[in-house]
């Protein structure tokens, strides 16, 4: 099993978290975005990293990769057993991909005016602020157990300081900040970090 992974990309990072949390033996080949060969990118439908190769199987959608790993290596499980709870997790993953990741990608691409950049950052902070109260009820994102949803969210939270976003410590955001600290303390999360990613948190 080989994972072709970007050294500093939140989509690749989420897959590496799954590998680390499940302690899966996998060769991780790291690249900078501009250094990936066309031969490797040709294995992906989107011509982007990450790409997971397992024998004759090539997977390039991060959601598919993560669920494949969770099913092939079922312990510890990263999706709930019950269909309703599993569906809820998938809805949350789709929400992160559709609503939050485009904001993160815009900020990281740095191709906006200062005014537009501030607007996008404010929108991302507002989106994150809306979920803060949920961590008063649940240990993780809408669940008592660590799931794939947390694997989606952790790389975004880790990159906030490097994007120039520092969440203020106040009563409303405290549950989110406590959750964030809990994620960053997990051995699996720390094992998932590349050298570049370790330097992102300033």
Q: What topology does CATH give the domain 2-72?
A: Glutaredoxin (3.40.30)
Q: Which of 14-28, 29-43, 84-98 has the lowest average pLDDT? A: 29-43
Q: Are 71 and 130 in contact (CB under 8 A)?
A: no
CB-CB neighbours of 189 under 10 Å: 22
Q: Is 167 helix (H, G, I), strand (E, B) or coil?
A: coil
Which pLDDT does position 39 carry in this prediction?
86
pTM metric for this prediction: 0.94
**pLDDT at residue 44, as a whole number:** 84
Of 98, 113, 120, which is closest to residue 165 (Cα–Cα)? 120
Structural class in CATH, domain 83-186: mainly alpha
Closest CA to 15 of 42, 54, 56, 51: 51
Give the integer Cα–Cα distance in Å for 111 and 76. Answer: 40
**Quick one: pLDDT band at residue 193, thresholds 50, 70, 90?**
very high
The pLDDT, as a whole number, for residue 202 is 53
DSSP state of 80: -
Question: CATH 3.40.30.10: which residues of the chain?
Answer: 2-72
Range name among 43-47, 66-70, 93-97 with the lowest pLDDT average: 43-47
Domain with CATH 1.20.1050.10 in the chain: 83-186
pLDDT, one tens digit per residue, over 91-132 is 999 999 999 999 999 999 878 899 999 999 999 999 999 999
Phi, psi of 56 (to 5 degrees): -90, 5
pLDDT (average), residues 36-60: 89
The lowest-confidence range among 28-42, 54-68, 107-121 is 28-42
């Amino acid at each position: 099993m080989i994972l072709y992974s970007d050294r500093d990309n939140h989509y690749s990072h989420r897959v590496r978290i799954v590998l680390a949390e499940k302690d899966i033996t996998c060769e991780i080949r790291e690249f900078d975005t501009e250094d990936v060969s066309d031969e490797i990118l040709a294995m992906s439908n989107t011509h982007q990293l990450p790409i997971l190769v397992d024998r004759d199987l090539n997977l390039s959608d991060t959601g598919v990769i993560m669920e494949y790993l969770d099913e092939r290596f079922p312990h510890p499980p990263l999706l709930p057993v019950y269909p309703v709870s599993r569906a809820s997790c998938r809805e949350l993953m789709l929400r992160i991909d559709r609503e939050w990741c485009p904001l993160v990608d815009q900020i990281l691409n740095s191709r906006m005016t200062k005014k537009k950049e501030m607007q996008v950052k404010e929108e991302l902070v507002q989106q994150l602020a809306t979920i803060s109260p949920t961590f008063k009820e649940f240990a993780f994102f809408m669940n008592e157990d660590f799931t794939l949803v947390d694997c989606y969210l952790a790389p975004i939270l880790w990159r906030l300081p490097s994007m120039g976003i520092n969440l203020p410590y106040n009563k409303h955001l405290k549950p989110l900040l406590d959750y964030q600290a809990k994620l960053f303390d997990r051995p699996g999360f720390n094992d998932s970090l590349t050298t570049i990613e370790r330097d992102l948190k300033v």
